[in-house]
Structure 1
Amino acid sequence: MAAAMASAAERAVLEEEFKWLLQEEVHAVLKQLQDILKEASQRFTLPASGSGGAVKQENFVLSTSGTDQVKGVLTLQGDALCQADVNLKMPRNNQLLHFAFREDKQWKLQQIQDARNHVNQAIYLLMNRDVNYQFKTGSEVLKLMDAVMLQLSRARNRLTTPATLTLPEIASSGLTNFKPAGGSILHNPGAMFEFGNQRYEVSHVHKVECVVPWLNDALVFFTVSLQLCQQLKDKISVFSSYWNYRPY
């Protein structure tokens, strides 16, 4: 009898704690997530240059690991790559080749646009309930966290693993003056393309990278937000281990 009473009392305490979690702590976490993701969203709103409100251009040095065969500078204007100058040293005779974007073309970086859209969708999900809204079940919170985490994961993945363009896509973009021969994939040795009425074959592949600080900041905000979402999910899941009735 005493054990049953203790069990009932323990359950009552746990139910009160769970009620407090739904009514108080969940909203505190949602507010914290909103603040963090608004900071992340602001990273995609770049300062204007002062002339007509145009987005300021930023220059970044391209680098390779363990080799100096590829050097260059690219210019980013918001989510568009507007200029690029690349010097390539040929491995056989050290001949220096220079490549540049056409001045009348820009390369829209779709992955930046997509990441911005995903973070804004996550903010919308978090703000879709006002501060007086009462969550009634843990399941309701878990579904919200899953939806937010899905958007944040997609945003992070678009920045960390951007899609690789094929040679036909590069040629059709108008950024360059070469055209592919066949359907070979870019970055694949053996791919063929034409330039100046001559056919060329890709013999070596070099990957160049640059650090864009404001995108790195956004990735940090995404990671912190994902951790907060998971911590809240874990807290709700812990309560289910204390009784057979799952508050889902």
Structure 2
Amino acid sequence: MRVHTFLTECLFLAKCVHAVLKQLQDILKEASRRFSMPSPGLCEGQLKQENFILGSSTMDQVKGVLTLQGEALTQADINIKVAKSSQVMHFAFRDDKQWKLQQIQDARNHVNQALQLLSSRDESYTFKTGAEVNKLMDAVMLQLSRARNRLTTPASMTLPELAASGLVKMFTPPMPGDVMVNFYINLSKLCLTVYQLHVLQPNTTKNFKSAGSSVLHNPGAMFEYNNTKFEVSHVHKVECVVPWLNDTLVFFTISLQLCQQLKDKISVFSSFWNYRPF
């Protein structure tokens, strides 16, 4: 009787495992496709260009239009109202420049690594133990968690790192030394942060304390760059939702739930699977 139960449970679990793996592959292929959506009527390698309007309110100090193509910002057109003079400054990406969003690139790479793990165990493969299935699920879940974290957790940067980044060389006309910008992804949103600075005079720097690393620095943050001390006077953040990034986060959540559900089933049946009746 126990042998019969063992064989029945093993057969059920083996079929269940491959059914879940197939479902995971289908979901993650759809997620991967979102990262490289071709433009209608164009070749597969030609990615769709999407325009996003930032700061549509008339009261906004910062307005802009960003063009996203896959993982790269290919165009940016930004208007910044200077706090003191109310003068509007206009900047755009140089024609020969585009800015890669490393978060999107990394998330896509983690999704593809998860797909490679799943494809290494096709329907002809026979799992020997429940522990082997758990090991595969843990590896897939690690990649999916890393993919999700890249989109939900923007990188912290110091203000000197931001001042030295390649972004300052992207624009025409060149941005003045008292303005800095940063682009990043937060969940399903494309974000633009603008920092307006003022130079600290030597006789006012006795209480100078350099700010640490952060995703978003507040007014009053101080830093030193090229032997000059600055203080952030104004911070403006504008953002917009990228629908396909929202889709991918949903796919990650569903996939992680499927992995955990399979692990839960394995734990229930592991005593049968690991039993050796002969």
Q: 1:191 aligns with which of 209, 222, 244?
A: 222
| TM-score, length basis structure 1 | 0.78
What SS is found at the alignment partner of 2:234?
Answer: coil
Structure 1 CA distance, aligned partners of 2:77 and 2:45? 26
Distance 1:168 1:106, change over 3 A: farther
Structure 2 CA distance, aligned partners of 1:207 and 1:35? 37
Distance 1:131 1:89, change over 3 A: same
Kept after mapping to 2: 8 A contact 1:59/1:75: yes
Kept after mapping to 2: 8 A contact 1:76/1:83: yes
Q: Are 1:81 and 2:111 counterparts?
A: no
Mean CA deviation greater in 41-50 or 106-115? 41-50
| TM-score, length basis structure 2 | 0.70
Aligned match of 1:104: 96
What SS is found at the alignment partner of 2:32?
Answer: helix
- Give the superposition deviation at 1:112: 1.0
Kept after mapping to 1: 8 A contact 2:210/2:224: no
Kept after mapping to 1: 8 A contact 2:10/2:273: no
Structure 2 CA distance, aligned partners of 1:193 and 1:61? 33
Distance 1:12 1:68, change over 3 A: farther
- Give the superposition deviation at 1:164: 3.7
Kept after mapping to 1: 8 A contact 2:76/2:93: yes
Aligned match of 2:26: 35
Structure 2 CA distance, aligned partners of 1:98 and 1:78? 25
Q: Are 1:15 and 2:6 counterparts?
A: yes
- Aligned length in residues: 233
What fraction of aligned residue pairs are identical, expressed as a percent?
A: 66
Distance 1:23 1:119, change over 3 A: same
Structure 2, unpaired ranges of 5+? 169-173, 181-198, 200-208
Amino acid across the alignment from 2:274:
P
Aligned match of 1:144: 136
Distance 1:168 1:102, change over 3 A: farther
Q: Are 1:47 and 2:38 counterparts?
A: yes
Mean CA deviation greater in 141-150 or 210-219? 210-219
Mean CA deviation greater in 103-112 or 87-96? 87-96
What SS is found at the alignment partner of 1:42?
Answer: helix
- Give the superposition deviation at 1:84: 1.9
Mean CA deviation greater in 117-126 or 85-94? 85-94
Kept after mapping to 1: 8 A contact 2:77/2:91: yes
Q: Counting helix residues as a fraction of each chain, which structure ranks higher?
A: 1
- Give the superposition deviation at 1:209: 1.6
User: What RMSD over aligned residues (CA atoms) do the two structures have, in Å?
Assistant: 3.5
Q: Counting strand residues as a fraction of each chain, which structure ranks higher?
A: 2
- Give the superposition deviation at 1:50: 4.4
Q: Residues 129-157 of structure 1, C-alpha deviation per residue, up to 9 Å, x if partnerless?
A: 22121112111111110100000111111
Structure 1, unpaired ranges of 5+? 1-8
Structure 2 CA distance, aligned partners of 1:99 and 1:84? 8
Structure 1 CA distance, aligned partners of 2:25 and 2:269? 25
Mean CA deviation greater in 46-55 or 168-177? 46-55
- Give the superposition deviation at 1:64: 8.8
Amino acid across the alignment from 2:13:
L
Distance 1:164 1:208, change over 3 A: farther
Structure 2 CA distance, aligned partners of 1:133 and 1:206? 54
What SS is found at the alignment partner of 1:40?
Answer: helix
Structure 2 CA distance, aligned partners of 1:206 and 1:15? 63
Q: Residues 20-57 of structure 1, C-alpha deviation per residue, up to 9 Å, x if partnerless?
A: 23321101111111111111111111224849964332
Aligned match of 2:126: 134
Distance 1:207 1:168, change over 3 A: same
For residues 1-248 of structure 1, what are the structure 2 equivalents within 5 Å?
Answer: 9=1, 14-48=5-39, 50=42, 54-63=46-55, 68-90=60-82, 94-176=86-168, 177=174, 185=213, 187-188=216-217, 189=219, 190-192=221-223, 201-239=231-269, 247=274
Structure 2 CA distance, aligned partners of 1:52 and 1:130? 26
